[in-house]
Chain A
């Protein structure tokens, strides 16, 4: 059983290693330093790269969020622009002949006013801005001219799309403003030809209206139209509770499949038919797709740039780490080899008095590993400190705990001992294989 001698030390291989290290401090310190630099370099570089990765990922997230917001704004702008192009869906009674509609300019088959509410309350999401219309060409006998009389009310809210609505279930951004009670809006051709200005009173079918506004020229039938509240139009035209069309805006998100809206309306109003202005729908889809593509291209370009920067940093770090590790390995090799040369006679006497090769090997490898262990701990701590200090953005995003992981610590702690073991192996084997007879016969 081993006991301590007077000096309090145990007689074993580690005592030889420890005493020799104390005797040759400089060699030990320089060996440890080289390994500390290599370990700190590796750990620090890995932390900086990890911090960079976190910062890059966060940058992507921020950039994507920023772009998404910009694109949402852009898409909204497009939506408004496209919406201003007018309705792109017209719901008619199933009996309505389309050629007759084209010929007359208005429908001659009628829907119930309640039909528009059935659509609005059905939960449909493919349509927006439902506008019930009762429109007929009449002879305006008070002014002795033909006009299109259009009875409208405010746009009926589609309740399944609350984001478009105010708390009072009015559209935040209506395509067409409601015609106030007792008022009339005029197309430009009507107003100019009859010299009517806003604020003037007009009479249509015996009903008096004040001109609310005159729309600027559109180059369509709208220029020949007079808009009045729906109930008044129903009264004047003698069609109470009736409408002859529902204008609507097909939702951008639903245009992936043109025609889907027809199937949905058919389920709600089996007696109705849907007329889509396909060119407008396609234009809306195209605009949305282009916006989305632009969004992706900007994001991918930014990601590619960041990845390229990261790859360059990784390459630089790899070269640096390889140099540090190679330098430390060579230095440890030289140190141990020199140590073996210096201790040649010591090896000789130890072998002569019965030390086995393995025991001599342990003396030198033990020294290498001890250097590695001290350097592993010191280098790991130093590397973590330097790495964290150099990882500004990464540190601010994830904190130190996101940069310093268990695998990183294990890698850092193992690198130096393994490196020292590998670099010290050959000189240690040379020491163990020295022939004591050769050494001792030199005297």
Chain B
């Protein structure tokens, strides 16, 4: 594990629990008493097999899924003390998401896809547009700026998704299996960009089943049956 060089903790997930119940099926503990912190400039990875609770943890940390117990702090904000609308607003300006499936909007071009978060945060402006174009340039997508997602390779799609996650200058980036659909070369490129974000002061929580990724993380956790092992 590499040395940690950060001044402040950006994200604290404190003793969160989440269980799923469905009819008469026995309760399944998806996440059980997990505590984790991510500082500014830090990339923290959580690895584990499919179904171990990684995505549930990430969704709770990202303010999308209310935990049964525990707290999530984004900076000084207790995310689940906020109203849903306030949480949406905080998510729009302070959090970026990258998913395995990219979830690009199929009828919008690359530039528009990158700029979509500015609609949610009502922050579209000339500077946002400039920032989007810089990200597109930085991620080597300038030749694809007017292309629709269907016209892009999978690597390009994930880079667009990453640019979209970063366009609002978030403090924290959540990545759920960001390389799951990519070949090794593209996976390496995407991981490099994610690392660069952390190197520039961002906080990254990355969940994956791919243990090879852990070599890029400042800290790496193993997760099994809803619990962190280390």
Q: How far is the CB of A355 from chain B (nearest CB, A)?
A: 4
Asked if A279 is at the interface of the complex by the 8 Å CB criterion, the answer is no
* Chain B residues whose CB sits within 8 angstroms of the CB of A351 once the complex forms: 64, 88
With contact pairs A7-B111, A9-B112, A19-B107 given, residues A350 and B55 touching in the complex (Cβ less than 8 Å): no
With contact pairs A19-B108, A441-B55, A441-B56 given, residues A354 and B93 touching in the complex (Cβ less than 8 Å): yes
Task: Please indicate which of the listed interface residues B55, B105, B111 has the most CB atoms of chain A within 10 Å of its own CB.
Answer: B105
B59 touching A441 by the CB < 8 A rule?
Answer: yes
Contact with B along A312-352 (1 / 0, CB 8 A): 00000000000000000000000000000000011011111
**Interface size of B as a range:** 35 or more
B119 touching A6 by the CB < 8 A rule?
Answer: no
Q: How far is the CA of A3 from the CA of B130 in the complex (A)?
A: 11
Asked if A2 is at the interface of the complex by the 8 Å CB criterion, the answer is yes
With contact pairs A2-B124, A5-B129, A443-B100 given, residues A22 and B107 touching in the complex (Cβ less than 8 Å): yes
Q: How far is the CB of A349 from chain B (nearest CB, A)?
A: 4
Q: How far is the CB of B173 from chain A (nearest CB, A)?
A: 12
Q: How far is the CA of A357 from the CA of B86 in the complex (A)?
A: 12
Nearest residue (CB) in B for A437 is B65
B112 touching A355 by the CB < 8 A rule?
Answer: no
Contact with B along A354-369 (1 / 0, CB 8 A): 1111010000000000
* Chain B residues whose CB sits within 8 angstroms of the CB of A5 once the complex forms: 111-112, 115, 129, 132
Asked if A307 is at the interface of the complex by the 8 Å CB criterion, the answer is no
A355 touching B64 by the CB < 8 A rule?
Answer: no
Q: How far is the CB of B103 from chain A (nearest CB, A)?
A: 4
* Chain B residues whose CB sits within 8 angstroms of the CB of A355 once the complex forms: 88, 92, 119-120
B124 touching A12 by the CB < 8 A rule?
Answer: yes
Asked if B153 is at the interface of the complex by the 8 Å CB criterion, the answer is no
B108 touching A356 by the CB < 8 A rule?
Answer: no
Q: How far is the CB of A440 from chain B (nearest CB, A)?
A: 6
Q: How far is the CA of A5 from the CA of B116 in the complex (A)?
A: 12
* Chain B residues whose CB sits within 8 angstroms of the CB of A24 once the complex forms: 107
A3 touching B64 by the CB < 8 A rule?
Answer: no
Residue in contact with B111 in the complex, picked from A6, A346, A443, CB distance below 8 Å: A6
A6 touching B145 by the CB < 8 A rule?
Answer: yes
Asked if B39 is at the interface of the complex by the 8 Å CB criterion, the answer is no
A16 touching B105 by the CB < 8 A rule?
Answer: yes
* Chain A residues whose CB sits within 8 angstroms of the CB of B64 once the complex forms: 351-352, 436-437, 440
Q: How far is the CB of A243 from chain B (nearest CB, A)?
A: 109
With contact pairs A20-B107, A443-B101 given, residues A353 and B129 touching in the complex (Cβ less than 8 Å): no
Asked if B118 is at the interface of the complex by the 8 Å CB criterion, the answer is yes
Number of A residues, CB within 8 Å of B: 36
With contact pairs A7-B112, A11-B119, A353-B97 given, residues A443 and B129 touching in the complex (Cβ less than 8 Å): no
Asked if B201 is at the interface of the complex by the 8 Å CB criterion, the answer is no
Segment 12-32 of A: residues with Cβ below 8 Å from B: 12-13, 15-16, 19-20, 22-24
* Chain A residues whose CB sits within 8 angstroms of the CB of B107 once the complex forms: 19-20, 22-24
* Chain B residues whose CB sits within 8 angstroms of the CB of A20 once the complex forms: 107
Residue in contact with B120 in the complex, picked from A2, A19, A350, A440, CB distance below 8 Å: A350
B91 touching A352 by the CB < 8 A rule?
Answer: yes
Asked if A1 is at the interface of the complex by the 8 Å CB criterion, the answer is yes
Contact with A along B63-103 (1 / 0, CB 8 A): 01100000000000000000011001101110111011101
* Chain A residues whose CB sits within 8 angstroms of the CB of B56 once the complex forms: 441
Asked if B226 is at the interface of the complex by the 8 Å CB criterion, the answer is no
With contact pairs A22-B107, A346-B105, A437-B59 given, residues A354 and B129 touching in the complex (Cβ less than 8 Å): no
* Chain A residues whose CB sits within 8 angstroms of the CB of B202 once the complex forms: none
Q: How far is the CA of A11 from the CA of B109 in the complex (A)?
A: 12
With contact pairs A19-B108, A351-B88 given, residues A359 and B119 touching in the complex (Cβ less than 8 Å): yes
Asked if B10 is at the interface of the complex by the 8 Å CB criterion, the answer is no
Nearest residue (CB) in A for B146 is A7
Q: How far is the CA of A356 from the CA of B96 in the complex (A)?
A: 15
Contact with B along A430-443 (1 / 0, CB 8 A): 00000011001101
Q: How far is the CA of A90 from the CA of B106 in the complex (A)?
A: 106
Task: Please indicate which of the listed interface residues A15, A22, A440, A441 has the most CB atoms of chain B within 10 Å of its own CB.
Answer: A440
Q: How far is the CB of B163 from chain A (nearest CB, A)?
A: 12
Q: How far is the CB of A352 from chain B (nearest CB, A)?
A: 5
Q: 8 interchain pairs (CB within 8 A)?
A: A3-B129, A5-B132, A11-B112, A11-B119, A19-B107, A348-B103, A354-B88, A440-B103
A residues apposed to B, CB below 8 Å: 1-3, 5-7, 9-13, 15-16, 19-20, 22-24, 345-346, 348-357, 359, 436-437, 440-441, 443
A348-B103, A351-B88, A355-B119 are known contacts; what are 6 more A-B pairs with Cβ within 8 Å?
Answer: A6-B146, A15-B108, A349-B99, A354-B121, A355-B92, A440-B64
